[in-house]
Amino acid sequence: MVSRLLYRDIKNFNYSGTLSDLEAFLNSDSRLVGVEVYTFMQTYPVAKLFKSDVRHLPRCSKDLFKEPCIYVEEATLAKDPPTRLVLYFSNRALLSTYRIFQAVLLMFDIYLFIATVLFLWASYSGIKKRIESIVQLLSNPLELQKKFDKKKKDEFLEIEKKIYKLYKAIRKEFNFNFKLLTLSSELLYYLVKAEALEDFISTVNSLFKMRNIAVKVAKTPQCPKGFTSRRLSHSGFYVCHRKIPSRFLETILNIIDTVLLAAKEKEKNRRVLLQTIEAFAKAIDAMSPWTRGHSSRVAAVAEFIGRKLELSEKELENLKIGALLHDIGKLGVPVSILDKNGKLTDEEYEIIKKHPEIGYRILEPIETFKEILPIVLYHHERCNGSGYPKGLKCEEIPKLAKIVAVADVIEAMTAKRPYKEPHPFEEVLKHLKENSGKLYDPKIVKVVEENAQELKELLERIREDEESQPAERGDRQDRQRASDPTQQKGQTCPRSGGD
């Protein structure tokens, strides 16, 4: 209807009516920002109207989602007189929708990860509760048979049945019963408390030694002189033992086999949880081609330092998980800032400084990550209070966070970024020594200094392994674009270590 009125007014040389028609035509489509009408003079419009001055915007290329732009369409209104319309469309509405979609997709990924972790934690908790129920039932073995859950058939039900059968046999001889009962209770107690399979096996062997029972659990059939090797049928481990009455030996072996099977299942769930965390850390690093593998390298360096500091296995596990997830808050930082070639503006630097708090808020609802939250929140704090987000002093910063801070700086300085070339390891070591007690914990810097060559070789091995794996084509193209100085603008704020 509008186009018919427009054609009529042009044909009748009613230019005031033509402008009214053009205004109605512009209001009929929100994407339309300008119209030009050409008749006999095909190079000069007889009439034109724009919603706003959009002619400074670039013409759209093939990628409509890169930046605001305009694209042009031409339409023939009539042949007599020859009337042609040039229509200017803006991609702003489309770009806005696309960015909203990106944000929704990112939130979906986060929720999916959280759901996966919660599911794994629920599975782990279920196993732990089943083991704890066995420990509770051991206080009254005669009631054990009544507690069997016939509907829920799993390996733990079999454990309960086996323990019950063992107790029936043990009751025939009080001394024999008492000794095995005590041993079983202790094994199941340590099974619940154990954080890792290796720790549990070590505890079992210590327990047998303390009880003067000549039995030792091993992974291979090789035994010390004077011992006999026996393979456990269910768990797959081996037991080395001296000459023990067969009745007593078989019972002990069955108990060991059963608890080791449960320990393996517990370890399997813990590994799946850790593998999921490692996969998500890789996804975080993949936001930028320049940080590919950053979190895993920081975790390796942090674990190396932690072992030199003689941390417990539990602390080392928390340290590794915290290092893997220390940059999860960068999910809330635009990739354009992460990949920027050169120094950041004040505004951009303030945005990137928020990533520890963003990471803390992401992980805070998950009970599993309660012990690693200080690492995520405080890994950019410095001993002299110049760090962020809280400006803590050295004695206020948690120990594991200080280790990750040093590991983060070591990895970042020795890595190539779009804004710098990698620093030699000797230069990194010099930087740490110069700032020992100022920015970094002196004890941690001392460990790095004493083991510098070994740490340097570790980083080189990790990077060689990564480089031996073929990089994705898109990764290489992103690196080429990021390293092209003609595509970058000037900045004013320096980067800090790890960013």
User: Quick one: tokens of 266?
Assistant: 């517990």
Give the type of residue at 278.
Answer: E
Closest CA to 217 of 230, 131, 192, 226: 230
Using alpha carbons, list the distances in angstroms from residue 384 to 315, 352, 391, 393, 427: 25, 21, 8, 6, 22
297-314, pLDDT tens digit by residue? 999 999 999 999 999 888
* 340 has a pLDDT exceeding 80: no
Give the type of residue at 272.
Answer: V
Name the more confident of 447 and 43: 447
Write down the pLDDT at residue 407: 95
What are the boundaries of each domain within the chain? 2-90, 119-266, 286-487
76-80, 167-171, 240-244, 463-467, range with the lowest pLDDT: 167-171
Burial 8-20 (b: 16+ CB within 10 A, else e): ebbeeeeeeebee
Length of the chain: 499
pLDDT bin (cut points 50, 70, 90) of residue 494 is very low
- DSSP single-letter state for residue 76: E
In the β-sheet with 32-38, what is the strand arrangement from edge to edge? 47-50, 32-38, 82-90, 70-79
Residues 174 and 245: beta-carbon distance below 8 Å: no
pLDDT bin (cut points 50, 70, 90) of residue 484 is very low
pLDDT bin (cut points 50, 70, 90) of residue 488 is very low
Closest CA to 409 of 401, 397, 419: 401
Beta bridge partners, 36, equal 48, 86
* 269 has a pLDDT exceeding 70: no
222-234, pLDDT tens digit by residue? 888 888 888 887 7
**Distance between CA atoms of residues 390 and 228, nearest Å:** 60
Write down the pLDDT at residue 247: 66
User: Quick one: tokens of 286?
Assistant: 């993949």
Helix then strand then coil, in percent of the chain rounded to 5, is: 60, 10, 30
34-75, pLDDT tens digit by residue? 878 787 667 777 777 777 666 677 777 777 777 788 878 887
Mean pLDDT over residues 459-478, rounded?
65
Sign of CA dihedral 124, 236, 188, 131: positive
Backbone angles phi, psi at 397, to 5 degrees: -80, 130
**Distance between CA atoms of residues 214 and 286, nearest Å:** 53
Residues 211 and 183: beta-carbon distance below 8 Å: yes
Mean pLDDT over residues 103-131, rounded?
86
Q: What is the pTM of this model?
A: 0.48
Write down the pLDDT at residue 8: 63
Average pLDDT, the chain: 77
Q: Which residue has the tokens 């080392």?
A: 316
Q: ∠ CA(305), CA(307), CA(310), 5° rounding?
A: 115
Q: What residues contact residue 491 under an 8 Å CB cut-off, 6+ apart?
A: 340, 342, 343, 344, 345, 348
Domain 286-487 adopts which CATH fold?
Hypothetical protein af1432 (1.10.3210)
266-275, 378-387, 388-397, range with the lowest pLDDT: 266-275
